[in-house]
A and B are shown apart, each in its own frame.
Chain A
Amino acid sequence: MNMNWLLTHSPALLIAIPLLAAFLTPLIDRLSKRARNVLVLIVLITVEVVMIVLAWDVFTGNTHIYTMGASNPTATIPVQAAIPIRIVLEVDGLSAFMGLISATVSLAAGLYSLAFVRRETGQGRYYTLLLLMLVGMLGMEFTGDLFNLFVFLEILSIASAALIAYRFYRGDAVEGAFKYFVISSLGALMVLFAIGLLYGQYDLLNMAALAKVMKYTMLDKIALVLFIAAFAMKCGAIPMHMWVPDSYTVAPASITAMLVVASQVSLYALFRICFSLYGLTLDVTTVGIIIISLGLLSMFVGVTMALPQKDIKRLMSYHAISQTGYMLLGVGVGLYLIGKPEFSTYGVVAMEGGIFHIFNHALYKGLLFLTAGAIFYKVKTRNLNEMRGLAHSMKFTAIFFMIGAFAIAGIPPFNGFASKLLIYESVYCVSPILSIIAMLVSIITLASFVKVFHSAFMGPPMRNTKEGEVPKSMLIGMVILTVGIILFGLFPGWVVDHIVHPAAQALADQAAYIQAVIGG
């Protein structure tokens, strides 16, 4: 088993390893709890390592293609056929970028879970579903096939819904899961209907092959509307965001960190559909303005709704919505400018800012949710009114929270500042108001995290809580994300040049996406 073999087969392996391990987990759980934990950790670490190897190869310029079930995985079109028939996985810069995010946050969440769900029942199923979530995310990111996208979308939402209801002995957990599941399966059905519309016209399911023949007819427009509405809803854009605070609040904290990434995978699907599937055939001005306005609404309403919240995780969920707005804004400006002369100067930077923000957001929002979980673990409440003085006993958690809060508010030198700077300095090309609103939202974000820090960590210590810090495995989970935040904050230039730029380039360059599968 040499390096080349691993690289060739890594797209399939990355999906297959967690999938097989997911169904092995309940079996091993019967034998020994410790062995199960070890298995889950080994799988998560393996996925992370293979993902880094694959991503590094992709970022240096090789788009990876994997044809499922073919004797030669790089041959996408069978000998007798003219179109790709088999399921094709296509890992380009953006897919690898998103894959890195999913693998990293899953690793942190998995480590964190070891102690966090220690006292709960049904842990075997918990880890099965956690691995299935990872499978769903990686599958959606890697696939080059529309129907496959739908299947992984459903795997992701079923696993997420079951995990949101993990503490089913609490009524609100089941309520949040039900709401999430109704709205997300409705969205998935709309996606399937749109896929049917495209298939009915072109007899194709492969995205690259579809992109090549896309004509943007009336039916294509209907499909586009369904895709945008469904994926914008799944990523929590206002005004379709109501399920986000409900489900994020009640899920276990480690799962909430994964749900943040799951939402961003839907964001990825939205961008993939707009840029790679439709590309320049669509009316970029109209769709760009739609995405920009969704982004602006999400940013502003999200942050203002976060301010009065009393539930710590609900407050953070509204911030997740508001931060998603930045990504929609950045990439929306890129879509608006594509094909115009400003694209090479401002559009690319805006897209880089939006895409960089995805990674940053996954890191700091994941970290913040994990600290909220640590508080819940100690204090047994999410209500901010009932907390005070936790910094006396939870020094590390307080430090991690501060780092996360600084990063989300865009305080230099943390990573949130770098990506927000890119967004501020490029979106004013469309209208200066966009930059102004983005900065205003950033200020209100800081204000609301000052509120959380003050009410949870400052003041005299609580009398009835147990002394001491949370268990080590939870701290390690938080450390992974913190290290990511600090490294990304200190070396933004390197990250943008080597990781973000290939991702943005992959999104902007539709011809390369088509050529990788169809050739010529």
Chain B
Amino acid sequence: MLHTPSGYWDPLLWILALIVAILIAYIIRGFGRKDYKGGEQSKPFLSGMDIPDEKELHIRAGNIYWGFMEGLEGYYDIMKKIHTGVVNDYVAWFLGVSALLFIVILIVGVT
């Protein structure tokens, strides 16, 4: 049992609750109609297009979250510009941060 400022966390209790929840879900599932299988409803639907062979269907990593990248295009453009891969720039960033810390700790921080 792990106490936090506003409560506690007990994984064993959580697992117990999870098991109970799964059990309840299973019982509710038991109320369903047993004869309802097959037919159009059980097939995957892709805007009415033909479904390619399931065995060959796989979305490559490069295409996942395409929309997210597109939405944050401006941010990612800046990030790509920063990550040049040139070792001199790495050192320059280090020196830049050191300089910033100098300003903050030595000048601003003298309160």
Contact = CB atoms under 8 A, between A and B. Distances in A.
Given A229-B101, A246-B85, A425-B5, A412 B59 contact: no
Given A310-B61, A349-B4, A422-B4, A283 B91 contact: no
Contact of B106 (A222, A345, A385): A222
A221 B69 CA distance: 42
Contact of B91 (A186, A388, A422, A425): A186
Contacts of B69: 307-308
A451 B65 contact: yes
B90 A183 contact: yes
Interface string B65-89: 1001100100110010011010101
A243 B90 contact: yes
Interface stretch (B9-17, B20-28, B29-37): B9-17
A187 B61 CA distance: 36
A346 interface: yes
Nearest to A423: B4
Contacts of A242: 83, 85, 89-90, 93
B41 interface: no
A418 interface: yes
Given A384-B61, A421-B9, A422-B2, A183 B94 contact: yes
Main secondary structure of the interface of A (DSSP, over half): helix
Interface residues of A, number: 66
A460 B56 contact: yes
A471 interface: no
A455 B14 contact: no
Interface in B88-111: 89-91, 93-94, 96-98, 101-102, 104-106, 108-111
Contacts of A379: none
A286 B103 CA distance: 11
Nearest to A422: B4
Range for the number of chain B residues in contact with chain A: 35 or more
A425 B104 CA distance: 29
Nearest to A461: B55
A27 interface: no
Interface stretch (A4-12, A330-338, A394-402, A486-494): A486-494
A50 B49 CA distance: 64
B43 interface: no
A418 B9 contact: yes
Interface of B: 1-7, 9-12, 14-15, 55-62, 64-65, 68-69, 72, 75-76, 79, 82-83, 85, 87, 89-91, 93-94, 96-98, 101-102, 104-106, 108-111
Q: Which 10 A-B pairs have the closest CB atoms?
A: A459-B58, A384-B61, A413-B11, A455-B61, A286-B109, A229-B98, A493-B1, A425-B4, A493-B2, A492-B2
Given A290-B105, A458-B58, A490-B11, 16 more contacts: A178-B87, A179-B87, A224-B105, A225-B98, A229-B97, A229-B98, A242-B85, A283-B105, A304-B76, A310-B62, A384-B62, A387-B61, A421-B9, A454-B61, A460-B55, A491-B11
